[in-house]
Structure 1
Amino acid sequence: MANVAIRFGIIGCAEIARKVSRAITLAPNAKLAAVGSQSHEMATQFVAENNFPSDAKIYGSYEAVLDDPNVDAVYVPLPTSLHVRWAVLAAQKKKHLLLEKPVALNAVEFDAIVEACESNGVQFMDGTMWMHNVVVVVVVVVVVVVAAAVVVVVVGEL
């Protein structure tokens, strides 16, 4: 595969998008191409507060991000109740998807998202990357070791 950066668009300026956008800008094979919010002012503020690349486009709507031909994939940190609508639309516009968790409210919505991705030839990934983190292995080991003990509180941060 060629060393081509995936151009990401973000629809929505949720707090979690700050962390994910930072990861996108640090990844050598990804580029932050566009951000859209419910208003141009909100998107502009989000871009300024998060030190996005100067060439990242700023849009006052989610649709504009999906219509941008320079966006290959879309990160969706919107409330779960909005996922099916925007994920299906993104897939129909041939945008690959990174959906924040939980992906859908129920199995019917999840099936609609998967069907839209399959029928439009786009990839889909959910935001449960913590499951693949080495910290999870450590937690499992600790739980096994202290299985006989009573755990009162577990506090962690990834």
Structure 2
Amino acid sequence: MKPVNWGVLGAAKFAREHMARAIHEAEGARFHALATSDPRKAAPFSAFCPDLKVHNSYDALLADPDIEAVYIPLPNHLHVEWTLKALEAGKHVLTEKPIAMQADEIDALIAARDRTGLMATEAYMIVHHPQWQRARTLIAEGAIGRILHADAHFSYDNRSDPGNIRNRPETGGGSIPDIGVYTYGSARWATGAEPVALDAQITRENGFDVFARVFGEMEGPGGRFTYHAMTSMRLFPRQEVVFQGETGLIRLTAPFNAGLFGEAQLHMFRQDRADHIERFPGARQYRNQVEAFGRSIRQGTPYPWTLEDAKGTQAMIDRVLAAE
């Protein structure tokens, strides 16, 4: 398969530490260019990719005829604007989550994707991790019976970094936009369910949420179940997801930052059976994401997370904020 030439808009820390490296290392991908006006920010990228081309503006990178796909790790409030610009420039686009600040903003992205015939989606990497793929399969097979309840928890503490974009409401900050996509979207993807009733308790600080508890009901192919999620930027780090069924329970450790927060594991507990544990120490979800994107471009392989999926999660986020 001919490698896909990638460009990255902006020298974001996350791109430098994770996604740009994943693009550089992935099969069927080539990290070709970076857009940044600051040569100092480009240096760490060139250190692991010496032949990297550096453009001094986003528009210049989009005009580069050698670039086929663009990865966008810009602040949340810029995602829609630059996704549309990239599509209009004839590039496939992978944009960080959340891809939009409101669900109805994604309609324009869907229309542009369909009009151009290009690939465009949100970088929801967990669906490429075997831990989540396994959980989804087990739930669909009825391994723990009909789902009765789901819990999703994601917290960290960044109060010591006031300049972080997650601590700034004008750039789409807050725990819900930043990590609600994980706690809400993962429950949707694993179970095929959508929310039918939601309530929320939200604590705000300087105009953005720092703690949110969401509780309600979701309904999917197996019926209705209760749902509880917690996100926070002011609590000790925690990542855990639990699905409780009629005949068993599945617990996922390190479900969102696998390998960084801890080892990704799947624990299954059932009556009258030995506890079942699966470990995924070597899985690399960012690299998997890049390779899956390339296969979709080159071979037409179905991609597991579409703009429609992203819109569903953003609609859930909108409902949570409206339920306050």
TM-score, L = length of structure 1? 0.82
1:95 to 73, 91, 113: 91
Which structure's CA Rg is the greater one?
Answer: 2
What's the counterpart of residue 47 of structure 1?
Answer: 45
- Taking only the aligned residue pairs, the percentage that are identical comes to 32
What's the counterpart of residue 23 of structure 2?
Answer: 24
Give deviations 1:95-128, integer Å, cap 9, x for gaps.
0000111111112321112212221221112111
Give unmatched runs, 5+ long, in structure 2.
145-241, 259-324
1:10 to 8, 11, 17: 8
What's the counterpart of residue 107 of structure 1?
Answer: 103
Shift of 1:44: 2.3
Q: 2:103 and 2:117 mapped to 1: Cα distance?
A: 21
- Which SS does the other structure have where 1:7 is aligned? strand
How many residues are matched? 148
Shift of 1:72: 0.2
Corresponding position: 1:69 with 2:65: yes
TM-score, L = length of structure 2? 0.42
What's the counterpart of residue 127 of structure 1?
Answer: 123
CA RMSD in angstroms comes to 2.3
What's the counterpart of residue 36 of structure 1?
Answer: 35
Q: 1:70 and 1:48 mapped to 2: Cα distance?
A: 18
Shift of 1:42: 4.2
Q: 2:119 and 2:22 mapped to 1: Cα distance?
A: 19
What's the counterpart of residue 116 of structure 1?
Answer: 112
**Equivalent AA in structure 2 for residue 9 of structure 1:** G
**Equivalent AA in structure 2 for residue 44 of structure 1:** A
- Which SS does the other structure have where 2:109 is aligned? helix
More helix by share: 1
Moved more, 89-98 or 13-22: 13-22
More strand by share: 2
Is the Cα contact below 8 Å between 2:4 and 2:30 reproduced in 1? Answer: yes
